[in-house]
Chain A
Amino acid sequence: MNYQFNWGIVLEYRSLLVDGLLVTLQLAALSFLASILLGLTTAIGRSFMPTYVSTAFTVYVEVFRNIPPIVQFFFWSFAVGLNVFPASLVALSVFTSTYIGEIIRSGIASIPKTQAEAARSSGMPEFYVIFYVILPQAVIRVIPPLSVEFITLIKNSSIAMTIGLTELTFQTQEIEARSFRGFEAATTVTIMYVLLALVVVLVMHLFEHLVRLDIRKG
């Protein structure tokens, strides 16, 4: 291959990369929070609410899980007309929330029915049964698959570049356009994504160790 590497380009355009990274982090962090809230709601809705409510959530999950994420980004941006960042946030949150909801729902389903029976038998209203007895156990169980989804969320954030968000992947195109050094830019960005994912893994691992101390004793 007759290609002269010029890694200095990365240094030269580092401000673009930093800007892109900040946008990606912003999008990922906010989507992380929103998708957890939405996901929890759908999981609880499908596990504990009466049929007409749980069916509504099922429809929500099926619709936004099965449509390709890039189409969802286009939908919120072009069809609904949101600005670039809000559209990205909504698209990413809604799409990810369906997966998180299903994961938490399966966690809830894995808790023996007898736990809820014992709680209800002591006169606990359903709210406490869900949030004090079932959910803590369920969420702890599904930390590993949740970590996977959060890493996926970071990766999917790059789709936002297709609707014009100047996040990290977008910046590789920018650097390409200005310097024709797409290879170096893309490689650098790839490494940055891997590092981000590793941070997620580390945090989830620490979190798991922190909470599982409770059930892992003995």
Chain B
Amino acid sequence: MPNESPDSTMIAIDNISKWYGPLQVLRDVSLTVANGEVVVICGPSGSGKSTLLRCINGLEPVQQGQIVVDGIDVTAGKIDINKLRAEIGVVFQAFNLYPHMTVLKNVTIAPTLVRKIPRREAEDTARMLLSKVGILDKAASYPSQLSGGQQQRVAIARALAMRPKLMLFDEPTSALDTEMISEVLEVMGALARDGMTMVVVTHEMGFARKVAHRVIFMSEGTIVEEGPPEEFFKRPQMPRTQAFLSKILSH
């Protein structure tokens, strides 16, 4: 995972706005994420945080503004979006593993098809990654045979197999039982310690406190407040942030 100098920008989101028909879901959002930075985005449902994440790798188009990822303008017309997407790993709330393939195949399919890596090599890398997320013994199993936490860890290994420069996590633990949440957060924490640039949409404030360099609060399509975790949690400035934190931290 080649990392450039620590102060280079990985993501530059510049004044983007997005509408679904008449409904505006992102209002003039700007955000930069530096190389190696871990950014957590939190906020109530419908705040646009997942949408924002999906705009970063072009899954969702934006009507206004610009998004530059690793020097490539995602919002420009005729770009090779696949080339960019190969550098961005995505982990989804619903895992989205391919049910008709084994765990090992799930992890090797993209590297073999997209990066044209020979099967042997891809499988070696896959086994290394599966062992890293603690699930090597399930390499020959099918997703339907795994628990949610195990599937999500496979999903993380699958995303890492492409050696991305950036990882996007869209509520990775929201579909998991409480017991399984920590095993996934542990893997994510290890990833962060290794220096991966990560943007994580999550409700897991403990993770944000411990791992994030910056926490961002979104509501109704805009960024309300952002800051390093200690400041964000101890001294939230905006009333909306305070209201949200009081609700989410009370249990």
On A, residues with C-beta under 8 Å from B are 114-115, 117-125, 128, 132-133, 136-137, 140, 214-215, 217-218
Question: Does B131 sit at the interface, judged by CB under 8 A?
Answer: no
A133 and B98 contacting across the interface, CB-CB below 8 Å = yes
Complexed CA–CA distance, A12 and B214 (Å): 90
Contact of B96 among A115, A123, A125, A215 (CB under 8 A): A115
Nearest-neighbour CB distance to chain A for B86, whole angstroms, equals 3
Nearest-neighbour CB distance to chain B for A128, whole angstroms, equals 5
Residues of chain A with a CB closer than 8 A to B82's CB: 120, 123-125
Contact of A214 among B92, B94, B142 (CB under 8 A): B142
On B, residues with C-beta under 8 Å from A are 57, 59, 82-90, 92, 94, 96-101, 109-110, 113-114, 141-142, 144-145, 158-159, 162
Residues of chain A with a CB closer than 8 A to B87's CB: 123
Nearest-neighbour CB distance to chain B for A153, whole angstroms, equals 27
Nearest-neighbour CB distance to chain A for B6, whole angstroms, equals 26
Nearest residue (CB) in B for A213 is: B142
Complexed CA–CA distance, A122 and B141 (Å): 22
B113 and A218 contacting across the interface, CB-CB below 8 Å = no
B144 and A218 contacting across the interface, CB-CB below 8 Å = yes
Contact of A118 among B90, B113, B145, B162 (CB under 8 A): B90
B110 and A122 contacting across the interface, CB-CB below 8 Å = yes
Subset of 29 A-B contacts with CB under 8 Å: A115-B96, A117-B92, A118-B92, A118-B97, A119-B110, A120-B82, A120-B85, A121-B59, A121-B88, A121-B90, A122-B86, A122-B89, A122-B90, A122-B110, A122-B162, A123-B82, A123-B110, A123-B114, A123-B162, A124-B82, A124-B110, A124-B113, A124-B114, A125-B114, A132-B109, A136-B100, A137-B98, A217-B145, A218-B141
Nearest residue (CB) in A for B158 is: A122
Residues of chain B with a CB closer than 8 A to A132's CB: 109, 113
Name the 7 nearest CB pairs between A and B, nearest first.
A123-B86, A218-B145, A118-B96, A122-B110, A123-B85, A121-B90, A123-B82
A128 and B113 contacting across the interface, CB-CB below 8 Å = yes
Nearest residue (CB) in A for B87 is: A123
Nearest-neighbour CB distance to chain B for A186, whole angstroms, equals 45
Nearest residue (CB) in A for B109 is: A132
Nearest-neighbour CB distance to chain B for A100, whole angstroms, equals 21
Residues of chain A with a CB closer than 8 A to B92's CB: 114, 117-118
Given contacts A114-B92, A122-B110, A125-B82, contact A218 B142 (CB under 8 A): yes
Nearest-neighbour CB distance to chain B for A84, whole angstroms, equals 42
Residues of chain A with a CB closer than 8 A to B88's CB: 121
Complexed CA–CA distance, A128 and B97 (Å): 15
Most buried by A among B86, B92, B100: B100
Complexed CA–CA distance, A185 and B88 (Å): 68
B113 and A121 contacting across the interface, CB-CB below 8 Å = no
Nearest-neighbour CB distance to chain A for B122, whole angstroms, equals 13
Complexed CA–CA distance, A23 and B217 (Å): 72
B99 and A137 contacting across the interface, CB-CB below 8 Å = yes
Residues of chain A with a CB closer than 8 A to B145's CB: 217-218
Complexed CA–CA distance, A200 and B89 (Å): 44
Nearest-neighbour CB distance to chain A for B19, whole angstroms, equals 20
Complexed CA–CA distance, A122 and B110 (Å): 6
Contact of B100 among A118, A121, A128, A137 (CB under 8 A): A137
Nearest-neighbour CB distance to chain A for B59, whole angstroms, equals 6
A118-B97, A125-B114 given. 4 additional CB < 8 A pairs? A115-B96, A123-B83, A123-B162, A137-B99
Complexed CA–CA distance, A133 and B98 (Å): 7
A114 and B85 contacting across the interface, CB-CB below 8 Å = no
Residues of chain B with a CB closer than 8 A to A140's CB: 100
Contact of B98 among A115, A117, A121, A123 (CB under 8 A): A115
Residues of chain A with a CB closer than 8 A to B98's CB: 115, 118-119, 133, 137
Nearest residue (CB) in A for B88 is: A121
Residues of chain A with a CB closer than 8 A to B114's CB: 122-125, 128
B57 and A121 contacting across the interface, CB-CB below 8 Å = yes
Residues of chain B with a CB closer than 8 A to A214's CB: 100-101, 142
